[in-house]
Chain A
Amino acid sequence: MDVSWLSDMGKWLIPVLELAILFTSLYIVTTTTIGHVIAAYRWQNLLLLIVATTTVAKNWRNFPQPYPHLLSWQTLFLFALMAWPVFLFFIIGRALALATISETRWLLDEKDRMDIHRTWVNASFRQKKPSLSRMGLSMVIYLVLVIFAFVVAFRFIPQPEEPSSRIGLGVALGLQFAGLFTLMTKRDLISQVIGIFVMDHGMYLSIMLLIPMPTPAGDFLLALYLYTFITLLLLFFLLPNLRRIKQRIDLDALQAESPLKG
């Protein structure tokens, strides 16, 4: 299969898309509305899918050619690579909705939806008002973190390698910092979960660095799957119980009445 046109396109498309991913995480960092946080996260998943597809096409020649069987491990690897962001794109909104109500059900009725909506809106309102100065401060801190990520990436990736690798590493590190920043600044449990998943995106992008070496990339992808499933499973188990007992998801209120002090 001749995918050289994709390979050529990838040289400029991948960095552009990766930078777009950073913009979505900037939106996650600055907005205080839970619905918007989830929407931006889903956009990130779509962008990641395109990045993954293009990266694979770009490195097509490195894969053993041609594939002898449809179900060779390389095919499975490619499928798994593409499926991860798609899976999260579809599952995350519903998973967080199910995890928000105290007794989760597979099928949500109208009352559940109202309950979820009310909980998310209340949690958003309880957070400090999105004043310009606050948003500006978040932006500045985020930009400092991203610049730091790029300095590290350009320092560590040797000169002869392609600039796209450096940008990829910079964005992967930037997503780690963005996730951490979200975790530390957001005041509701749902956004905190998104913070963790943004860091997951950093993990996913770092696997892109290994795409030219399919063997370790496959192992890392397997580990990422395991991690994602575990996180989702625990999310389903822990969040509803926390909500059942505490009746709230906003962190300030939880911390105010928390007995776990000292």
Chain B
Amino acid sequence: MSTSSHVDNVLLALVILPTLAWTIGLLVWRLLRGSDPSSSSTRTGRIASHLDRIAILRRWGTISPLERNIFGGISILVATITLLSTIMLIFRFNTRSPAQAIQFPLPPLPISLYADALSLYFLLVINIIALGASWNAYFYLQKEPEAGFYRGPSLFHVLMNLFHFTMLLTPVMDNLIGLWIAIESTTLVSALLVAYPNTARSWEAAWKYLIITSTGIILAFMGTVFLIHGMYASNDPVLHTMNWSELIQHIHLLQRNDSLDFVLLAFFFALAGYGVKAGLAPMHTWLPDAHGEAAPPISALFSGVLIKAAFYAILRFVMLTEKALGNEHLWLITYVLLGAGLFSLTMAVPFILNRKNHFKRVLAYHSLEHMGIILFGTGVGSAVALFGALLHVLNHAITKALMFLAYGNVLRKYNLSEEEGRSNILEPAGVFYLMPVTGLLLAMGGLALVGTPPFNIFLSLWMILWGGVQRWLEVMHTQSASRPLEPYILGISILIFSLATTLIYFGLVQHLARILLSHPPARKRIQEKITELIPLLLLMGLTCVLGVIVLPPLSILIQRSVDLLTLH
């Protein structure tokens, strides 16, 4: 059932539109300011020189310190507005009947925005991380020169806000091809953001990222085509739609005819396709390159929310497939998700244990691990495991953003030390001695990331494991004659899960020890500004609080999302 008041619509607009408005505003400013006319010999330079005819500000590719700070400030403000609007929307949503969702038609377009508990939860995750990333970007761009039309802080803000906007579109797309377009749009903007540092490494990483994720997105497109073909091929006119909210209500009718096979085919393609974007093995190879080479706020967004947005798309397909297949065939989805999750989890182990890997790449491999954990929880499918998996989405996003932002601060400070000028240190040493607060945050964040109590990931990890064991015991007691191997498969899966997470624990601890406690380079202690630490402290605060208690509004929202996922 979909109902929404004007207040809901306004709040949803406040969640989605500020980022777009700010992006357009910045683009207009860049056009009015003008670019660098001296580079007109190149193609890009010639385009820029044509655009310069409308540049009435005639600032020619420069940015003043005041403008730089204003732009950074507005980006933080925009991220704050979207986060607060999301929180208000969640509070309003939690007071209603669980079955209600927000529907926001977009006339004259044939699509509408749709937000149920799951959409709102993912919006919350995106906006929390986007606020942290925007805050960090303010400082990251302080020393960044505005180099012509195609580089500089203003372009970074344009791309970052556009990236934020495209990610916000993903959870509110009702139309399945709209969902695909939203995910594809994130690829476009994020590829440019990976290339932004303009180094050989970043261009190569952007190329790999584009090629691999394009492959995935094509498979997801095929999955969507198959699903819709199955719907339209059925004789039931209620299924002749591309809107998820309508399909989920009627898809069980498919059990009567052959189109069911198409839903299954669609699921496999969607899992493989969106799985590439979610960084699942074996198509995870873009993860360490893109995460490792992008600017720290972008790495935080990548690891924290981009891969989760793709996971959201997978979840929508899982829900449709489970409902179409009915309870009798659920084991198939369970095995596929468990297998995919475990494969990603175990693939991450050797890379995290390898001492030679750069820390940022190790963090990227942790994304592979955690996506594996989340998929494992989804595959287990019990209410506890699903609650744990969804909570893990938020917990991993917060902790990983904390790690990327803190480590980004360390790299930036080490590479811009007053005594040595600009350098290119890739692996800092002795962070505890030179930047003790950031070092402590890195240590706590690292320990949280591998599931140490009393931090947040410990809680969600245990929920998933507990859910898995519960399911295993359940299967042991009600052993099905048609699937005699099920208890063994589940038991072995839980064993592999525990072993892999334990190995990864030791792997990360050795990396942390190397960075934090090894002998520091000979230099003075580096000054850490409180304004730079605020987003890190806030994320650390959330990491600690969510390790002890799942806040009631959040708990209600996740529970409602779990109810949606188990309605079959």
Contact = CB atoms under 8 A, between A and B. Distances in A.
Interface of A: 103-106, 152, 155-156, 158, 161, 172-173, 176, 179-180, 183, 189, 192, 196, 199-200, 202-203, 206-207, 209-210, 213, 216, 219-220, 222-224, 226-227, 230-231, 233-234, 237-239, 241-242, 245-246, 254, 258-260, 262
Interface residues of B, number: 55
Contacts of A180: 215
**Main SS class of interface, B:** helix
Nearest to A189: B207
A176 B351 contact: no
Nearest to A230: B188
A15 B232 CA distance: 22
B205 A260 contact: yes
Given A196-B215, A237-B192, A209 B225 contact: yes
Contacts of B8: none
A200 B215 CA distance: 9
Nearest to A246: B200
Contacts of B357: 262
B195 A227 contact: no
Contacts, number: 129
11 contacts: A103-B43, A156-B261, A173-B222, A200-B218, A206-B226, A210-B232, A213-B232, A216-B242, A230-B184, A245-B199, A260-B292
Nearest to A161: B233
Interface of B: 42-43, 175, 177, 180-181, 184, 187-188, 191-192, 195, 199-201, 203-208, 210-211, 214-215, 217-219, 221-222, 224-226, 228-229, 232-233, 240, 242, 258-259, 261-262, 264-265, 288-289, 292-293, 351, 354, 356-358, 361
Contacts of A203: 218, 221-222, 225
Contacts of B203: 238, 241-242, 245-246
Instruction: Pick the most buried of B188, B195, B214, B292: most chain A CB atoms within 10 A of its CB.
Output: B214
B191 A238 contact: yes
B191 A216 contact: no
A172 B240 CA distance: 23
Contacts of B222: 172-173, 176, 202-203, 206
Give the 5 A-B residue pairs with the shortest CB-CB distance, closest first: A158-B258, A262-B357, A213-B232, A206-B225, A199-B218
A186 to B, nearest CB: 11
A262 B204 contact: no
Contact of A216 (B217, B228, B351): B228
A152 B265 contact: yes
A96 B225 CA distance: 29
B207 A242 contact: yes
A201 to B, nearest CB: 10
